[in-house]
Structure 1
Amino acid sequence: MSTVTEDQVREALSRVEDPELGRPITELGMVKSVDVDGSSVAVEIYLTIAGCPMRDTLQQNTYAAVAELDGVDDVTVTTDVMDDAQRKALRDQLRGGAEPVIPFAQPGTTTRVFAIASGKGGVGKSSVTVNLAAALAAKGLRVGIVDADIYGHSVPTLMGSDQQPSVMEEDMILPPIAHGVKIISIGHFIEGNAPVVWRGPMLHRALQQFLTDVFWGDLDVLLLDLPPGTGDVAISVAQLIPNAELIVVTTPQHAAAEVAERAGTIAQQTRQRVAGVVENMSAMVMPDGSTMEIFGSGGGERVSERLTALTGGEVPLLGQIPLDPALRTHGDEGTPVVLAEPETPSAEAFAAIADKLAVRRDSLAGKPLGLGVTPN
């Protein structure tokens, strides 16, 4: 009969990650105690705050990790809460003791930042943002969304998130997670459907806090859902994250395409790269397989061609999202269509765009690596 040891239990706990921080609870100092009595194991773990929304998940994962050990018949998992000194030490550990900075703007960052922009409202920019985020996360990437549309915030609703951010310290916020995507929105901080009545400097400050005070961890992709137009927030994004790439959303209608061009040409002034164009509300697929161009055709291609000419760099048409009732229905229900009905035409179109965005443009293919190998 095998007897489990405390070292074996702690080794098992090293495979349990805090869902918000993305690191093992052993590394974060979240294991308060481990008591082994024959085949019975009692583990007490620290929560970062009293109302930790991940409490049940942490307890369940801790229980599962210990219960699978040979020789363990009974597992008890209890919780305690970190005190102020422990939270401060954890914050310093996560940030390396440095003052808050925008990690995505630092040299050597491995996070690709895409700012989802549009010339006007009503083109489905937020729906595009959340579905691309969910599609990328479904591929195993670590993804975050900043709802930068302060006045017209809708990301929490579209992602079905009513969870509040966890405030660990005054300058460290842990973002809610929905469908495997970390999100932050002004909607998390206001009561009900109250309007936000702010002038430009407040918008800049809010965006800056979303980028510095929120602990994002190691993201592969960050999407920013910008407000329509070329105003304060678009300028702030260019200042705060100059390496952010623009994705312009338009509809097939030529009048909408003309306005969308303006959102893309801001890149000429900010020196940002335009990663591509997404045409939303494209031809609707009918039950018999035919298509109906309710909003016309050619808008996305026109914006792609015009921005390519204006910016001097290739601006591809990344994809065309069919007009699909399922996209609206599942958005209202808080589950992106790429997850709710992945077989629908719109979901497949989003998945195809996500495939393109998941591939880094700075591939090493075909480049000399300078390894010092001398050809014969």
Structure 2
Amino acid sequence: MLVKETLICNKLKSRSISARAVQVGQGTPAIKNIISVASGKGGVGKSTVSANLAVALYREGAEVGLLDADIHGPNQAVILGIREKSRVNNEKKIVPLRQHGIQSVSMSYLIDTKTPIIWRGPIVSQALYQLVYETLWEDLDFLILDLPPGTGDVPITLSKKVSVSGTVIVTTPQKVALVDAGKALAMFRKLGIPVLGIIENMATYKCLYCNHEEPIFGKGGGKRMADANGIPFLGKIPLDIAIRKNSDRGIPAAISDPNGSVAKIYRSIAIALVEQLLL
């Protein structure tokens, strides 16, 4: 299996899946594949999944960037443990920060983290465009976009202005999350953005003492949603206190314990995602 997974990643890195690679500088392809991570509603762990997915891809040997596209509620500075601010060079280009091996950019790297961002839709859309195209990314195999929840301006901007290879939808198993995830799925299809798969987060609660797993939010909702819509189910992630603790420490679970069960789950999901891009 390890040989197969290594071949998959190497094959994907050798070419761009997007119809048009993002061009930066003097016509040099800087980003081969842009993948957005979305959710229908907030609170399902989308940002945590985005960070861990980026780290998991990096650990497979890919050059990865993470763009915090949740303009009004950026959280990647906390999840990645970044306290410094991004530098803007003389040409007014943003220099991404590197942490845990991945490049990243976020509004929280540019302004005080306690300052609310009170912007209307057109300004948010322009900010997203600038973060993608006016950041000095080193050549990337993958750029992961951590989108805001819902079906607002940012996904519409993506469909019109950014060459996205596809999107991944994160949900939790309970009905209220699945209903909104279904709306997000329908929106991306309407916008013509391929849906690469569903990730079910908080699928089970893992007991600290006996390791028994209980589906406290319901069982199998993400898998049923994927099957009903004819799209891949990329995997499920438990509600594990280690994920929360590591996020609060600024060390994603995929790298804090690289041989642990959670890191293996994120690695499996990353490989499943790569396989979908190769189809």
Unaligned 5+ segments in structure 2 are: 1-23
**Structure 1 residue 285: Cα displacement:** 2.7
Residue 181 of structure 1 corresponds to which residue in structure 2? 102
Normalised by the length of structure 2, the TM-score is: 0.86
1:227 to 132, 135, 148: 148
CA gap of 1:243–1:192, structure 2 versus 1, over 3 A, is: closer
Residue of structure 1 in register with 2:74 after alignment: 153
Q: Secondary structure at the residue paired with 1:221?
A: strand
1:46-65 aligned at under 5 Å gives the runs: none
Counterpart for residue 132 of structure 2: 211
Q: Which runs of 5+ in 1 are unaligned?
A: 1-93, 309-314, 364-376
Please state whether the residue corresponding to 2:202 is helix, strand or coil: strand
CA–CA distance in 1 between the matches of 2:264 and 2:202?
Answer: 14
- Tell me what 1:245 maps to: 166
Q: Distance in 2 between matches of 1:291 and 1:361?
A: 31
CA radius of gyration, larger in: 1
Taking the aligned partners of 1:242 and 1:270, their CA distance within structure 2 comes to 12
Contact kept in structure 2, 1:246 and 1:264, CA below 8 Å: no
2:196–2:277 CA contact under 8 A, matched in 1: no
Give the equivalent residue in structure 1 for 2:237.
321
* Partner residue in 1 for 2:265: 349
Q: Pick from 27, 34, 37: which aligns with 1:113?
A: 34
In structure 2, what is the equivalent of residue 29 of structure 1? Answer: none
Q: Which has the higher helix share?
A: 2
Deviation of 1:262 after TM superposition, in Å, equals: 0.8
- What residue is the counterpart of 1:296 in the other structure? 218
Aligned length: 255
Cα contact 1:257–1:302 (8 A) shared by 2? no
Letter in 2 for 1:184: V
Deviation at 1:360, TM superposition (A): 6.3
Alignment of 1:95 with 2:25, yes or no, is yes
Q: Is the 8 A contact 1:145 1:223 kept in 2?
A: yes
Q: Secondary structure at the match of 1:266?
A: helix
- Give, in whole Å, the separation in 1 of the partners of 2:139 and 2:91: 21
Q: For the residues of structure 2 that align with 1:259 and 1:294, how far apart are their CA atoms?
A: 19
Q: Counterpart amino acid of 2:170?
A: V
The higher relative CO (CA closer than 8 Å, separation ≥ 6) is in: 2
Alpha-carbon distance in structure 1 between the residues aligned to 2:202 and 2:217: 7
What is the CA RMSD across the aligned residues, in angstroms? 1.9
Instruction: State the Cα distance separating 1:256 from its structure 2 match.
Output: 1.1
- Using the alignment, how far apart are the partners of 2:121 and 2:228 within structure 1? 30
Q: TM-score, normalised by structure 1?
A: 0.64
